Amino acid sequence: MKNPQATLNHIETRSLRERVLDVLRDAIISGDFKPGQMLVETELANMLGVSRAPLREALQILSTEGLVEIVPYHGTTVRRLTKADIEELYSLRSVLETFAVRRVLEQGIAQHVAELRRCYEEMLAAAEAGDLKQVNHLDRDFHDTLIELSGHSLLLTSWNVVSMRVRQVMALLNRRNSNLKQIAYNHLPIIEAMEASDVETAVLLIQKHVAASGELIAEGWEDNQGQSDT
């Protein structure tokens, strides 16, 4: 291809199933679909302008990802999030991230940690600009990057499931924009420990980091938080 025109973006060639999947997942993760909400197939299909076949395939996938609950002949609902779920979510998250830290440091490629620092710098900048949304995004990015750097594809897929639901929790909570800079600062010690290849300190710090936000959220969680009334 000889650059026939500046750039013309790819036309959507992904299957309907995948596009439907993305739309629904986003709606759940972003909190547009509330926990407990009924997802009626014919309704959704009409809304999205597709037939029920690809829609159902997408729902099956969401089910295995734990985002929706399918009860045979009774319909699909957005999965409810109990306090116990939150506890499980953050405890497993801690385990996975700990594993990732160890793995990244075992490889000992300094360039990797540099990428984390770049995340941090951007997060700090966004925090100073008071951009809550961007801070949240970069926060996610930081943790996603950490997992990716481990170069462990199976870990990554497990992580994705956990990560999505964490995002859902955050969205339902609309994190009161507490001290943004503090959020950014919290990541610094972790990076520094990793730069120093101090595995045990890094592990301890990330566990504390995850546990702290987990407890903070679980503390004020009502089991019917952000729940649909229908």
Q: How many CB atoms lie within 10 A of CB 113?
A: 23
- Residue 202 binding a copy of itself, by CB under 8 A: no
Half-sphere exposure of 209 (CA within 13 A, CB side): 23
Least distance in angstroms from the C-beta of 56 to a copy of itself: 6
Using the rule CB under 8 A, which residue among 19, 48, 57, 204 binds a copy of itself?
Answer: 57
Using the rule CB under 8 A, which residue among 3, 5, 111, 153 binds a copy of itself?
Answer: 153
Are the C-beta atoms of 175 and 126 separated by less than 8 Å?
no
Rounded CA separation 94/146 (Å): 12
Using the rule CB under 8 A, which residue among 24, 28, 67, 96 binds a copy of itself?
Answer: 96
Rounded CA separation 38/78 (Å): 7
Are the C-beta atoms of 77 and 36 separated by less than 8 Å?
yes
Q: Which does 153 bind (CB under 5 to 8 A by kind): DNA, a copy of itself, none?
A: a copy of itself
Least distance in angstroms from the C-beta of 184 to a copy of itself: 28
- Residue 107 binding a copy of itself, by CB under 8 A: no
| Residue 37, phi-psi category: left (phi > 0), alpha (psi -120 to 50), beta (remainder) | beta
Rounded CA separation 80/36 (Å): 6
Rounded CA separation 96/93 (Å): 5
From 37-45, 85-93, 136-144, 218-226, span contacting a copy of itself (CB under 8 A)? 85-93
Half-sphere exposure of 174 (CA within 13 A, CB side): 3
Nearer to DNA (CB atom), residue 40 or residue 114: 40
- Residue 50 binding DNA, by CB under 7 A: yes
- Residue 17 binding DNA, by CB under 7 A: yes
Binding site residues, a copy of itself, CB under 8 A:
14-15, 17, 53, 56-57, 60-61, 63-66, 72, 85, 88-89, 91-92, 95-96, 99, 103, 152-155, 157-158, 161-162
Binding footprint of DNA on the chain (CB under 7 A) = 13, 15-17, 38-42, 49-54, 56-57, 70, 72-76
